[in-house]
Chains A and B, each alone.
Chain A
Amino acid sequence: MALIALDRLTKQFPGVTALDALSLELEPGVIGLVGSNGAGKSTLLKILLGLLPPTSGSATVMGLDTAREGTRVRELVGYMPEHDALPPDNSATELVAHLAQMSGLPPAAARERTADVLRHVGLFEERYRAIGGYSTGMKQRVKLAQALVHDPRLLLLDEPTNGLDPSGRDEMLALVRRTGTEFGIAVIVASHLLGEIERVCDYLVAIEAGHLLSAAPLATFTGRTGVLAVEVEDGSDALAAALIARGIETRQDGRAVLIGLDGHGPADDAYDIVRDAIVDLGLPLVRLEHRRRSLEDLFRDRPEDEPAVRPS
Chain B
Amino acid sequence: MTAGSSTTTSPRAPASSGPAIELSRVSRWYGNVVAVNEVSFALGPGVTGLLGPNGAGKSTLLHMMAGLLRPSQGDVRIHGRPTWHDPAIYREVGLVPEREAVHPYLTGWQFALLNAQLQRLPDPAAAAAKAIQTVDLGDVQHRQIGTYSKGMRQRAKIAAALVHEPAVLLLDEPFNGMDPRQRLHMMELLRSMAAAGRTILFSSHILEEVERLAENVLVVYAGRLAASGDFREIRRLMTDRPHTFTVRSSDDRRLASRLVASPSVFGVELVDGMLTVRASEFAAFTVLLPRAARESGITLFELRPTDESLESVFAYLVRR
User: Which A positions have Cβ atoms within 8 angstroms of B?
Assistant: 34-38, 135-137, 163-170, 192-195, 232-233, 271-272, 275-276, 278-279, 282-290, 295-296, 298-301, 312
Contacts A136-B54, A164-B205, A287-B303; A279 near B180 (Cβ below 8 A): no
Q: Which of B51, B183, B286 contacts A233 (CB 8 A)?
A: B286
Q: Which of A192, A282, A289, A290 contacts B287 (CB 8 A)?
A: A282
B42 on interface, CB distance cutoff 8 Å: no
Kindly provide the distance from the CB of B51 to the nearest chain A CB, expressed in whole angstroms: 8
Chain A residues with Cβ below 8 Å from B208 are 195
User: Which B positions have Cβ atoms within 8 angstroms of A?
Assistant: 1, 3, 51-54, 149-152, 177-184, 205-209, 283, 286-287, 289-291, 293-294, 299-305, 308, 311, 314-315, 318-319
Is A301 a contact of B1 with CB atoms below 8 Å? yes
Q: Which of A35, A164, A285, A296 has the most CB of B within 10 A?
A: A285
Is B303 a contact of A285 with CB atoms below 8 Å? yes
Q: Which of A285, A299, A312 contacts B286 (CB 8 A)?
A: A285
Contacts A279-B290, A284-B287; A36 near B181 (Cβ below 8 A): yes
Provide the main secondary structure of the chain A interface.
Answer: mixed
Chain A residues with Cβ below 8 Å from B283 are 233, 284
Apart from A164-B54, A165-B54, A167-B53, what 16 extra A-B contacts exist at CB < 8 Å? Answer: A37-B151, A167-B315, A167-B319, A272-B299, A279-B290, A283-B287, A285-B287, A285-B289, A286-B286, A286-B305, A287-B303, A289-B304, A295-B180, A298-B180, A299-B184, A300-B184
Is A271 a contact of B205 with CB atoms below 8 Å? no
Chain B residues with Cβ below 8 Å from A192 are 177-180, 183
Is B1 a contact of A271 with CB atoms below 8 Å? no
Q: Which of A195, A275, A296 contacts B290 (CB 8 A)?
A: A275
Is A165 a contact of B53 with CB atoms below 8 Å? yes
Contacts A193-B206, A284-B287, A285-B286; A271 near B301 (Cβ below 8 A): yes
Bound-state CA distance A169–B204 (Å) is 12
Bound-state CA distance A279–B308 (Å) is 23
Bound-state CA distance A34–B289 (Å) is 41
Bound-state CA distance A289–B249 (Å) is 12
Is A278 a contact of B180 with CB atoms below 8 Å? no
Kindly provide the distance from the CB of A66 to the nearest chain B CB, expressed in whole angstroms: 24
Kindly provide the distance from the CB of B260 to the nearest chain A CB, expressed in whole angstroms: 18
Chain B residues with Cβ below 8 Å from A168 are 54
Chain B residues with Cβ below 8 Å from A289 are 302-304
Chain A residues with Cβ below 8 Å from B206 are 193, 195
* 26 chain-A/chain-B pairs, Cβ below 8 angstroms: A36-B179, A37-B149, A37-B178, A163-B54, A165-B52, A165-B53, A166-B314, A167-B319, A170-B311, A192-B178, A192-B179, A193-B206, A271-B300, A275-B300, A279-B294, A284-B286, A286-B305, A287-B305, A288-B301, A288-B302, A288-B303, A296-B184, A299-B180, A299-B184, A300-B184, A301-B1
The 7 closest A-B pairs by CB, nearest first: A284-B286, A288-B303, A37-B149, A195-B208, A299-B180, A165-B53, A37-B179
Is B287 a contact of A166 with CB atoms below 8 Å? no
Bound-state CA distance A96–B238 (Å) is 44
Contacts A167-B315, A286-B286; A296 near B207 (Cβ below 8 A): no
Bound-state CA distance A289–B245 (Å) is 12
